[in-house]
Structure 1
Amino acid sequence: MTTIAIIGLGNMGKGLAKRLAGKTDLLLGSRNSDAAKAFAATLDGTAEVLDQAKAAARADIVVLALPYGPALEFARDTDLAGKIVVDISNPLKPDYSGLTIGHTTSAAEELQAVAAGARLVKAYNTIFAALLEVPAAQTASIPVFLAGDDEAAIAAVEQLVRTSGFAVEKTGPLDTARLVEPLGMLNIRLGYHMGRGTGIAPAWQAA
């Protein structure tokens, strides 16, 4: 069974843990062990709580469920060589009004640059945490956009996404994150600034 480490237990990390618990070997990497253990006790199946670096070391797939800044710091300071690393972040300004980087680079590419030997895949950045709280049957057709350079890593994350109750939309190599991250920003703009709420997500439709 594939071992998944979720690094960070904010809303997205907890939501993904709920979706994956009992379906995979799950590790929770947290700086607050007591709170993480209390949360783990509420999950279906079992989830082991470790500090963040130890969780990453044990995992086949490391999900960085962290904001961009902390994710970059973690990737820079942790040995992730050989690991499949899933970046779910958008490089947001503090007031959520836009992105701090884009067009010539992306959060995913910056993480890849500091995580020597890691196999970076962009995913989940267009999904609000609220969607993880509804039954998986309601999100089965909602796509998670994937970008990455390693085909085996893409295939592994595709399976992870489907296990977590979403569809998959492959977008190409990792530099496609320069397009996928602004799509995440558009979703945030519609959800928060235009009053659409957090139950929305972008999708591609054929005529």
Structure 2
Amino acid sequence: MKTLVIGAGNMGSAFVQQLHAAGHAVSVTARNADKAAALAAQYPGVDAVAAPGAAANAEVVILATGYADAVDALKSLGDLSGKVVVDITNPLTPDYMGLTLGHSTSAAEEIAKALPGAQIVKAFNTLFAQVLAGGADLGNGQTASVFVASDSASAKARVTELAQSMGFATVDAGSLKNARYLEPLAGFNIYLGYGAGLGTSIAPTWVHKA
């Protein structure tokens, strides 16, 4: 699958690593071009590209920036009409211990409003970068879950396929409106990791009783 990762920080780097390992065609763009180039150089066949027009041939665009930078980063790519865009952001307060919006909207819904032509999918926002980089196997027979929410059935299917190709279990999280639940879930995971001292090798997952 042809993928474009926006961002070369911890999450962007983890995505490039895992997408490349899963055999996908990967391009990466970032505000810091040198950082994107350095990341791409670690993986044969991965390209660092300038933002304008970078999404033209991409089947899936992965937004790996902070929420505050999300809309500007996406708009810098140019026309995203019909493009599948994976929003992994969480609208966190500066201390990471709270959310700046919720209940009546979500980061994903606000991004969708700003880019009405794109097919926004909420996914991967409940994973720490360390878990993503380390792979889906959590040990003890557990596989990390990726919750996938979107108003587009075809976009949801595409992102589900992408997540499964990297070894993750997937949970159909319904419509994009349910990002209002997924973002607080991520916030709670962040609290457990940092506030409660459990570390960043944790992830919420869904299990089915046999």
Alignment TM-score, normalising by the size of structure 1? 0.93
1:57 aligns to what SS in structure 2?
coil
Q: 2:175 corresponds to which residue?
A: 173
Rounded Cα–Cα distance in structure 2 between residues aligned with 1:67 and 1:35: 16
CA deviations 1:155-192 (Å, max 9, x no partner) are 10011111223110111000000011100000001101
Rounded Cα–Cα distance in structure 2 between residues aligned with 1:185 and 1:26: 29
Q: CA deviation at 1:36?
A: 1.9
Q: CA deviation at 1:137?
A: 4.2
Rounded Cα–Cα distance in structure 2 between residues aligned with 1:51 and 1:179: 34
Q: 1:193 corresponds to which residue?
A: 195
Q: 1:7 corresponds to which residue?
A: 6
Rounded Cα–Cα distance in structure 1 between residues aligned with 2:74 and 2:104: 21
1:125 paired with 2:140, answer: no
Q: 2:107 corresponds to which residue?
A: 107
Q: 1:156 corresponds to which residue?
A: 158
Q: CA deviation at 1:205?
A: 2.2
Q: 1:72 corresponds to which residue?
A: 71
Please, what is the CA RMSD of the aligned residues?
1.6
Rounded Cα–Cα distance in structure 2 between residues aligned with 1:201 and 1:62: 23
Q: CA deviation at 1:108?
A: 0.4
The amino acid of 2:32's aligned partner reads N
Alignment TM-score, normalising by the size of structure 2? 0.91
Rounded Cα–Cα distance in structure 1 between residues aligned with 2:192 and 2:4: 31
Q: 1:49 corresponds to which residue?
A: 48
Q: Which has the higher helix share?
A: 1
1:59 paired with 2:61, answer: no
Q: CA deviation at 1:204?
A: 1.9
1:145 paired with 2:144, answer: no
Rounded Cα–Cα distance in structure 2 between residues aligned with 1:130 and 1:4: 21
CA deviations 1:74-126 (Å, max 9, x no partner) are 23554211100000000001111200000100000000001121000000110
2:124 aligns to what SS in structure 1?
coil
> More deviation in 61-70 or 17-26?
17-26
Q: CA deviation at 1:138?
A: 4.2
Rounded Cα–Cα distance in structure 1 between residues aligned with 2:98 and 2:149: 21
Report if aligned partners of 1:84, 1:153 keep a CA contact under 8 Å in 2: yes
1:12 to 1:109, Cα distance in 2 relative to 1, 3 A: same
The number of aligned residues is 205
Q: 1:82 corresponds to which residue?
A: 82
Unaligned runs of at least 5 residues, structure 1: none
The amino acid of 1:21's aligned partner reads H
Q: 2:15 corresponds to which residue?
A: 16
> More deviation in 118-127 or 22-31?
22-31
Q: CA deviation at 1:4?
A: 0.3
